[in-house]
Structure formats: C-alpha cells, structure tokens
A and B are shown apart, each in its own frame.
Chain A
Amino acid sequence: MALNARFVGSCSGRIAPMRSFVPITIDATWVAVDMAAVREIGGPLTWIALPTASAVLPGVTAWRGRAVAVADLAAVLGSGERLASPTGRVRTLYLQHGTSSLAVPVDTVREPLMIADDDIRPSRVRTDAFCLGEVDVEGHTTLVVDLGVLLPGYRPAAAAAASVPD
C-alpha cells in the first residue's frame, strides 16, 4: 500500500509536533497506530494458540524467520469478535517495539495520515494504558493507541506520553 501520509487536524497558525499514524479498523472500532512502530502491513495471518497465553496475546506466528507474539485487538479493546486459531483477519500489522515484535490482525488498514500532537484529545471513554487519546478520522472517533504497552518491560515514548494531559 502507498505510505503517503495526509494531514488531519486544525490549522491554528502555530506549528505543533506531528506524527504519522496508520488508521485501522477492528469490527466497528477505529484505531490509529504510530507509523514509527509499523514494520510491515501484510495479508491474513496463520497463527497458533498457546495453551496458557492471555486473551490479549493468545498465540504466536512466524514472521521473517522468527516467532512473534500475536495480539488480539478485540481482546485489548474489550469488544468485537475474538481471534480463533489458526486464522487471523484480512490484514496484519507487524509492529516493532524495542526488541519485541507483535503481529496484530485487523479488518482494514486505511491511508496513513499526519496528526499534530495538539489534535490528539484525551479519550472520553477509555482510560486504558494503551490509549493515548482520540482524534477524528473520516468522521470516525479514532483511538490513538500505543500497543507496546502490551509487552512486558516496554517504556512508552516520551513524546506520546506528553500529548496526553493528566
């Protein structure tokens, strides 16, 4: 897919720090993932369930000659149909956070966009650690997330944390 980013947000005259995000959907929920973490966008995933895994990281898949954890965004969000091994969803995002990788099956991947940090407002409905805020994309309230928090020992980027007021 083309990785040209378009701009979303207000033009207040002041230049605010901007980052590129990839909007994705999972059932009816819109989510935006920081483009800096995205290593690959692929098709459907084949994965295998682990007997003692969590609902959020239910299994594992092979990617680039390595085994990587599979994240179930429906379980993370607490809504939507859960993943069922061995098939994933139509598209897969492969994310890199530090030395750890994650495969995240999703329903759709939209065109990347640029979002000014100032335009990420605190989420009205979510207080979860992975949720940095929300922004409007194509008329949909879209959660801006940092899925790195699903990984043990992960430290969120300072820039991401700075965009969310206490």
Chain B
Amino acid sequence: MVHVHDPRVRWCVHASQVVRIVAAAEWLAAPAIDVLAALGPVSGTATHRVVVVRGAGDRETALLATGMIEINDVELTSVLPLPDTLAATAPEVAAIILAPDASLSLLLQPSAVIPRDDSAS
C-alpha cells in the first residue's frame, strides 16, 4: 500500500494502482484532486505531491498528497470493508485499514474518484 499521512486524515491506495508519484508542480495534465477537500483546506506549508493512479476508465488521475508518503505491506485481516450504511455516501472509500497501533486510515478506490471536469458535466 502507498500511505499518505495527510494531517486531516491518513489515506492509502493499493500500490498496484499507483502509476507514479511526482511533485504537484510537475503535474500539468489536469488539476489534482483533493479527495479530502470536504474535511477542510490543506495546510499552506505542507509539502504537496500527487499520487497518480489508474482511475475511472483506466485514465490517469492525480490525487493531491499532503504529508509524508510511505509504502508498506498491510495484513489482509487489517483491511475492513466499509459497511453498507456508509458505502453509498462515500463510494471513493473502499475500506479502512486498522494499523497495529489501532490507528485508522482510509483505503481509497481510485476508480470511484471522479475528476472535477467529469463531475461538473
């Protein structure tokens, strides 16, 4: 998994879905998506990178990554699928990851992340 220690909420994606990780300034194809935008603005001093993933329609989608990025293995038993109660309201979140220290992170589902230009149409 590729983990992003965003100060708002820690999130991750399957490493197999990551195409590359680049500095936000180097990503010019389309605006990067801040998946956590609804939780508040990103810190102005935070380092911004983008995690480029295979998104909907196999297109490359850039997710804004604020905070430290880490790659590590996760036990399958630590991946807890989102309950039906919440799955409809948060389709971009596939599951939560329960870390050994009992902290939690969101496992994103890149195919459900809608780029801004698509959501506007």
Residue ranges of A at the interface with B (Cβ–Cβ < 8 Å): 46-54, 57, 60-62, 65-69, 85-86, 100-102, 151-152
Say if the beta carbon of B45 comes within 8 Å of chain A.
Answer: no
Interchain CB contact under 8 A, A66 and B35 = no
Say if the beta carbon of B82 comes within 8 Å of chain A.
Answer: yes
- What residue in chain B is nearest A85 (Cβ atoms)? B9
| Additional pairs, 5, CB under 8 Å, beyond known A50-B90, A51-B92 | A51-B38, A51-B93, A62-B102, A86-B103, A86-B104
Q: Which of B39, B84, B88 meets A100, CB within 8 Å?
A: B84
Interchain CB contact under 8 A, B85 and A51 = no
Cβ of B46 to closest chain A Cβ, rounded Å = 17
Size of B's binding interface in residues, CB under 8 A = 29
Say if the beta carbon of B89 comes within 8 Å of chain A.
Answer: yes
Q: Which of B37, B93, B104 meets A47, CB within 8 Å?
A: B104
Q: Which of A46, A54, A67, A102 meets B102, CB within 8 Å?
A: A46
- What residue in chain A is nearest B93 (Cβ atoms)? A50
Say if the beta carbon of B98 comes within 8 Å of chain A.
Answer: yes
10 shortest A-B CB distances, which residue pairs? A67-B80, A48-B104, A50-B90, A51-B38, A69-B85, A62-B98, A67-B96, A51-B36, A52-B90, A69-B86
> Please, how many angstroms separate the alpha-carbon atoms of A60 and B38 in the complex?
16
Classify the interface of chain B: helix, strand, loop or mixed.
Answer: mixed
- Chain B residues with Cβ below 8 Å from A49 are 8-9, 39
Say if the beta carbon of B83 comes within 8 Å of chain A.
Answer: yes
> Please, how many angstroms separate the alpha-carbon atoms of A161 and B43 in the complex?
48
- Chain A residues with Cβ below 8 Å from B106 are 48, 50
Known: A67-B95, A86-B103. A60 touches B36 (CB 8 A): no
Say if the beta carbon of B81 comes within 8 Å of chain A.
Answer: yes
- Chain A residues with Cβ below 8 Å from B84 are 100, 152
Interchain CB contact under 8 A, A101 and B83 = yes
- Chain A residues with Cβ below 8 Å from B61 are none
- Chain A residues with Cβ below 8 Å from B83 are 60, 66-69, 100-101
Cβ of B75 to closest chain A Cβ, rounded Å = 12
Interchain CB contact under 8 A, B80 and A62 = yes
Cβ of A83 to closest chain B Cβ, rounded Å = 13
- What residue in chain B is nearest A50 (Cβ atoms)? B90
- What residue in chain B is nearest A100 (Cβ atoms)? B85
- What residue in chain A is nearest B77 (Cβ atoms)? A65
Q: Which of A46, A53, A61, A65 meets B89, CB within 8 Å?
A: A53
Cβ of A50 to closest chain B Cβ, rounded Å = 4
Interchain CB contact under 8 A, A57 and B92 = no
Interchain CB contact under 8 A, B86 and A57 = yes
